Structures are given as structure tokens and as C-alpha cells.
Amino acid sequence: MDVRERVVFLDAQASYDGELLEDEIQFLFETLKGSDEIAAVNSAFILGRLSKDTILGLTQVFSDLPWSRQQILVPIFAGAEFYEPYDFLLLQLKSCHDALADLIIRVLLLTEYFIAPLMLLYLSDSTYIFHRRMKDLFFRMGFNRLKPFLSAFPELPQETELREIFGDEKIDSLRES
């Protein structure tokens, strides 16, 4: 059985059983790193459907993967139902290249997972590029989407930065609602 056939077989097995053996998962990780682009893409999609530990394993190998594979994994991470992949994506904004940062921001804007608390936590980081990217993420996410979260605070954390992003009028409106 060649690589693509085995990946198709494992896809069917994972869909049926919901689980794979450790050596099968390892094979998919190796395929993800390999030269066969089609098999790598399919491996990424299979791995992204497996357990939390498997998805966290993908975050561990992410930086070693070529750009084409990273592009596939970013939306997979942003579809997770637990916070660690979102935390990973936000922290990537600290040092990644601009194309990856743009992809991460665009994907995070579409996620249904509530990432505002993590965003607010990282807004206080003083690393110039990271701080600028976090402000961009806040701005592009929009005040109206964040307003219910922000209005829950009796005293707004990072108020100065949020005023720079959204303006005094919008931040003052939080006190009125």
C-alpha cells in the first residue's frame, strides 16, 4: 500500500472508529512532514479530527513544517473546542512572519470560540510587533463583537490601549450601558 492509499485507509478508519493506534498517528505525522503534498494535506485533516493530545502534538511540530502545511493547520487549530490551540495561534503572532500573522488574524476573526480573554491578556505584552498585531486583531474583530465582554468589567483592563484602538466615545459608551 503506498502512502496515499494508507492515508485514505486511515481516514476511513478514523471516521469509523474515531481513534487510531499510536503507530498510525505517527505515520500521519511523518506524512505531514513528507514530500507528498496531497498525502500531507489529508494527514493534517485526519490529525485535526483526533484527540486533544494529537492536536497539541501538531502545535509542537508546527514551526518545523513548510509554509504550505502551516497554512492548512491554522484553520484546523481555530476550529478546536479547547483553548490551547488559540493560545498557540495568538503566541505565534509574537514572532511569526507577516504572511502567517495575517492568516492567523483572518482565521481568528472567523472563529466562534471566545478568545477575547486571551486577547486581552496578551494586549499588555510590550513586544512591539506582538502588541501591534494584537491591537490589529482587536480593531478588526470590532467593538460591537467585543462590547458584551468588555462591558462586564467594572474597571476596564488595558483601557488606554482599548481607547487607542476603538476611540474614547466607544469606550465611554461601556459605562453607559
Could you report the per-residue pLDDT of 148-170, keeping only the tens digit for each? 999 999 999 999 999 999 999 99
pTM beyond 0.85: yes
In the chain, what percentage of residues exceed pLDDT 70?
99
State residue 17's pLDDT score. 80
State residue 177's pLDDT score. 60
As a whole number, mean pLDDT of residues 57-69 equals: 96
As a whole number, mean pLDDT of residues 106-135 equals: 94
The alpha carbon of residue 15 and the mean position of all alpha carbons in its chain are separated, in whole angstroms, by 23
Residue 88 C-alpha cell reads as 498557540
As a whole number, mean pLDDT of residues 127-147 equals: 96
CB 71 within 8 A of CB 83: no
Position 75 pLDDT exceeds 90? yes
State residue 176's pLDDT score. 77
Three-class DSSP labels, the chain: CCHHHHHHHHHHHHHHHCCCCHHHHHHHHHHHHCCCHHHHHHHHHHHHCCCHHHHHHHHHHHHHCCHHHHHHHHHHHCCCCCCHHHHHHHHHCCCCCHHHHHHHHHHHHHCCCCCHHHHHHHHCCCCHHHHHHHHHHHHHHCHHHHHHHHCCCCCCCCHHHHHHHHCHHHHHHHHHC
The per-residue pLDDT for range 32-52, each reduced to its tens digit, is 999 999 999 999 999 999 999
The per-residue pLDDT for range 79-113, each reduced to its tens digit, is 999 999 999 999 999 999 999 999 999 999 999 88
State residue 19's pLDDT score. 83
